[in-house]
């Protein structure tokens, strides 16, 4: 994890690779399940992606069979009307 202004950050590529391996998926299989090109998964995992496609990493984690929940206070505020 990186420290940025006191906030811990998790590298999406590291998280994605771990989730994909735990789900026993290849990069190509994850790409198909996520609806993105194989090259997108490869770039994210290698850290070469400038940003992940919307909606961020949640799409990939769900494709690996994980439930995704955001409990960051800012996210909670943004969801309120």
CATH of residue 12: 1.10.260.40
Q: How many domains does the chain have?
A: 1
Range(s) of the domain holding residue 49: 2-79
Q: Which long-range contacts (CB under 8 A, 24 or more apart) does 66-75 make?
A: 66/19, 66/23
Q: Dihedral of CA 49/23/15/67: which sign?
A: positive
Q: Give residue 76's pLDDT.
A: 43
pTM reported for the whole predicted model: 0.69
Q: What pLDDT, in 10s, does the model give residues 24-77?
A: 999 999 999 999 999 999 999 998 876 655 556 888 889 999 888 766 665 544
């Amino acid at each position: 994890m990186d420290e940025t202004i006191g906030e811990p950050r998790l590298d999406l590529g590291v998280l994605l690779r771990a989730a994909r391996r735990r789900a026993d998926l290849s990069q190509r299989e994850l790409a198909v399940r996520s609806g993105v090109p194989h090259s997108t998964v490869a770039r994210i995992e290698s850290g070469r992606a400038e940003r992940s496609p919307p909606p961020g990493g949640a799409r990939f984690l769900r494709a690996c069979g994980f439930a995704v929940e955001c409990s960051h206070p800012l996210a909670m505020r943004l969801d309120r009307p």
